[in-house]
């Protein structure tokens, strides 16, 4: 079976808090509409980190900093074996402009199950979830536990 080596960016809102991650819905092919972490194939001679920076620049018109490796997914799709290195990343510059994906969202760990993930990406969600902080509502005081409305 053919092996395809790819990289994926788990872009967070903050490397310290990790309250939200950025995910995209695939805009093409057999898995159109399913959600994934942005990234792509590693070209000959590229390191995974360099490939990831290039792919995010191409797909999202954004410069990222590639941080720690979260893990490597090994997954058998019907037509190929996928080997995917997943890295924590943060935005350095740019506005995450969708060039290939059909949709994107910032997701809290509580929202992971609200979108249909690609099978390979789904296998690492628990690892990512365990590293993220919960999003806590804002409170007006110790005596008033109703969340504040955002303007």
Domain residue ranges in the chain = 3-131
Class of domain 3-131: alpha beta
Tell me: pLDDT of 137 over 80: no
What number of residues does the chain have? 151
Mean pLDDT of the chain: 91
Q: How far apart are CA 64 and CA 2, in angstroms?
A: 30
Q: How far apart are CA 11 and CA 146, in angstroms?
A: 31
Percent of the chain with pLDDT over 90: 81
Tracing tokens 């790819």 back to the chain, one arrives at 6
What is the per-residue pLDDT for 143?
46
DSSP 8-state symbol, 127? H
Dihedral sign computed on CA atoms, order 19, 54, 24, 130: negative
Tell me: pLDDT of 138 over 70: no
Give the alpha-carbon dihedral of 141, 142, 146, 150, to 10 degrees.
Answer: 30
| Each residue's pLDDT tens digit, 11-65 | 999 888 899 999 999 998 989 999 999 999 999 999 999 999 999 999 999 999 9
Span 57-85, mean pLDDT?
97
Tell me: pLDDT of 127 over 50: yes
What is the per-residue pLDDT for 141?
47
Percent of the chain with pLDDT over 70: 89
């Amino acid at each position: 079976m053919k092996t395809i080596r790819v990289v994926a960016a788990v872009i967070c809102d903050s490397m310290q808090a990790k309250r939200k991650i950025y995910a995209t819905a695939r805009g093409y092919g057999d898995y159109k509409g399913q959600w994934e972490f942005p990234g792509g194939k590693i070209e000959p001679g590229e390191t995974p980190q360099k490939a990831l920076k290039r792919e995010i620049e191409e797909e999202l018109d954004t410069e990222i900093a590639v941080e720690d490796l979260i893990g490597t997914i090994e997954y058998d799709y019907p037509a190929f074996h996928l080997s995917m290195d997943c890295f924590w990343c943060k935005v350095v510059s740019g506005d995450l402009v969708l060039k290939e994906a059909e949709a994107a969202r910032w997701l809290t760990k509580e929202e992971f199950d609200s979108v249909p993930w690609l099978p390979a990406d789904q296998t690492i969600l628990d690892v990512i979830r365990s590293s993220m902080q919960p999003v806590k509502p804002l409170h007006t005081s110790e005596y008033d536990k109703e969340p504040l409305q955002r303007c």
